[in-house]
Structure 1
Amino acid sequence: MARKMALILFLSVFLNIIPCYAEETSKERTNDTPGTAIFVMAVPMEVQVEEQSNMQNEEKWHVQIQYPAISGLKDKKAEKKINAILKKHGTDLQKKLVKEAKHDSSKNKYELISQYTIKETKSPYFVISFFDYQYKGGAHGLSTYKYVTLDLQTNRILTLDQLFKDEANYKDKLQGLILKQIEKRADAKTLLNDEIYGNLKIQDDQNFYITPHGDLVLVFNLNEVAPYTSGTMEFSISEKDLH
Structure 2
Amino acid sequence: MKQINKLKKEYDDIEIPSELDEMVKQSIKRAKATKKKHSPLKQWSIGVAAASALFIGSVNVSPALAQSMANVPVLGAIVEVFTVQTLTMDKETYQAELKTPAITGLEDEGLQASLNEKYTEENKELFKQFKEEVADMEEVGAGHLGIDTGYEVKTDTEQMLSIARYYVNTVGSSSTTMKYDTIDKHNNILISLPSLFKDDSYIEVISSYLTKEMKQQMADDENISYFAFDGSNLEFMTIQADQDFYITADHKLVISFDKYEVAPGYMGIVTFEIPSDILSDVLVGDTYIR
Normalised by the size of structure 2, how large is the TM-score?
A: 0.60
Q: Which position in structure 1 is the counterpart of 2:161?
A: 126
The answer to whether the Cα contact below 8 Å between 2:176 and 2:268 also exists between their aligned partners in 1 is no
The answer to whether the Cα contact below 8 Å between 1:55 and 1:63 also exists between their aligned partners in 2 is yes
The Cα shift of 1:190 comes to: 7.4
In 2: Cα distance, 1:115 partner to 1:122 partner = 21
The Cα shift of 1:239 comes to: 2.2
State the one-letter code of the partner of 2:216. K
Q: Which position in structure 1 is the counterpart of 2:276?
A: 239
Unaligned residue ranges in structure 2 (runs of 5+)? 1-5, 13-75, 281-290
Q: Which position in structure 2 is the counterpart of 1:201?
A: 238
State the one-letter code of the partner of 2:181. V
The Cα shift of 1:71 comes to: 1.7
- Give CA-to-partner distance per residue, 1:149-187, whole Å, 9 cap, x none: 1222332332211111x1221111110111121122124
The Cα shift of 1:112 comes to: 1.4
The answer to whether the Cα contact below 8 Å between 2:86 and 2:97 also exists between their aligned partners in 1 is yes
Quickly say closer, same or farther: Cα 1:193–1:130, change in 2 above 3 A: closer
Q: Which position in structure 2 is the counterpart of 1:13?
A: none
Q: Is 1:81 aligned to residue 117 of structure 2? A: no
In 2: Cα distance, 1:123 partner to 1:205 partner = 25
Percent identity between the two aligned chains: 23
Unaligned residue ranges in structure 1 (runs of 5+)? 1-16, 24-43
Q: Which position in structure 1 is the counterpart of 2:54?
A: none
In 1: Cα distance, 2:186 partner to 2:239 partner = 26
User: Aligned pair count?
Assistant: 202
Instruction: Name the SS for the 1:97 alignment partner.
Output: helix
In 2: Cα distance, 1:47 partner to 1:189 partner = 41
Instruction: Name the SS for the 2:132 alignment partner.
Output: helix
Quickly say closer, same or farther: Cα 1:193–1:227, change in 2 above 3 A: closer
Instruction: Name the SS for the 1:133 alignment partner.
Output: strand
What is the RMSD of the two structures over their aligned residues, measured on CA atoms? 3.0
Quickly say closer, same or farther: Cα 1:124–1:103, change in 2 above 3 A: same
Instruction: Name the SS for the 1:83 alignment partner.
Output: helix
In 2: Cα distance, 1:63 partner to 1:190 partner = 31
Match of 2:100 among 45, 59, 67: 67
Q: Map 1:1-243; keep pairs closer than 5 Å.
A: 46-57=78-89, 61-104=94-137, 105=140, 107-121=142-156, 123-136=158-171, 138=172, 140-164=173-197, 166-185=198-217, 186-187=220-221, 191=225, 195-196=232-233, 198-243=235-280
The answer to whether the Cα contact below 8 Å between 1:67 and 1:90 also exists between their aligned partners in 2 is yes
Higher relative contact order (CA 8 A, sep 6+): 1
Quickly say closer, same or farther: Cα 1:53–1:189, change in 2 above 3 A: closer
State the one-letter code of the partner of 2:256. V
Instruction: Name the SS for the 1:147 alignment partner.
Output: strand
State the one-letter code of the partner of 2:211. L
Q: Which position in structure 1 is the counterpart of 2:16?
A: none
The Cα shift of 1:214 comes to: 0.9
The answer to whether the Cα contact below 8 Å between 2:211 and 2:236 also exists between their aligned partners in 1 is no
Instruction: Name the SS for the 1:222 alignment partner.
Output: coil
Quickly say closer, same or farther: Cα 1:51–1:125, change in 2 above 3 A: same
